[in-house]
Amino acid sequence: MLALRHGWKVLSLGLLSGSVAAQEPMKGTVNPLASVPLAQDADVACLQSALETGNPQRGPSTWILKAPGGCVVPWHWHTAQEQLLVVAGDVMAEMIDHPATLLQAGGFAMMPGRMAHQFTCRGPQACVMFVTFDSAYDIKWGKK
């Protein structure tokens, strides 16, 4: 699927302990949404994604996702914690041991590492979401 992550936690922990962890320095990023180079996702045909910041192979990252109404990102899980923030559209968020919840602009979900979840873009408007991972990105399909 897509590759996702973001990295302030590791850097903050390194600063609190008096040493900086060996990682790439954070660089500033400013991207108007209209200029984000969205590309079709390799695993979910109806989904588009773009890496905003980070290195998903080695650490945290942040991604922008865009999905048309009816698009389903089926049950899956990640080793990393995932945080989702809805920018536009109606997103049905489902997680193991949680009721299905409709999220709209400003809606937020956090899935701890290894918690199975799925998302569905509901309604006629495209769904736009930011997704952040707290460590290297991986994906495992299914509920476990």
Question: Is it the case that residue 18 has pLDDT exceeding 90?
Answer: no
pTM metric for this prediction: 0.79
Strands lying side by side in the sheet with 72-77: 101-103, 90-95, 117-122, 72-77, 140-141
Q: Residue 124: what pLDDT? A: 93
Q: Residue 1: what pLDDT? A: 43
Q: Residue 23: what pLDDT? A: 58
Q: Residue 25: what pLDDT? A: 67
Q: Residue 74: what pLDDT? A: 98
Question: Is it the case that residue 6 has pLDDT exceeding 80?
Answer: no
**Contact by Cβ (8 Å): 66, 89:** no
48-63: average pLDDT: 96
Q: Show me where the domains of the chain are located.
A: 8-15+44-138
Least confident range from 16-20, 30-34, 86-90, 98-102: namely: 16-20
Q: Residue 24: what pLDDT? A: 62
Question: Is it the case that residue 65 has pLDDT exceeding 60?
Answer: yes
Task: Give the right CATH number for 8-15+44-138 from 2.60.120.10, 2.60.420.10, 3.20.20.70, 3.40.228.10.
Answer: 2.60.120.10
Q: Output 33 or 126, whichever has higher pLDDT.
A: 126
Question: Is it the case that residue 15 has pLDDT exceeding 60?
Answer: no
Query: What residues form DSSP beta bridges with 133?
Result: 61, 82
Question: Is it the case that residue 11 has pLDDT exceeding 60?
Answer: no
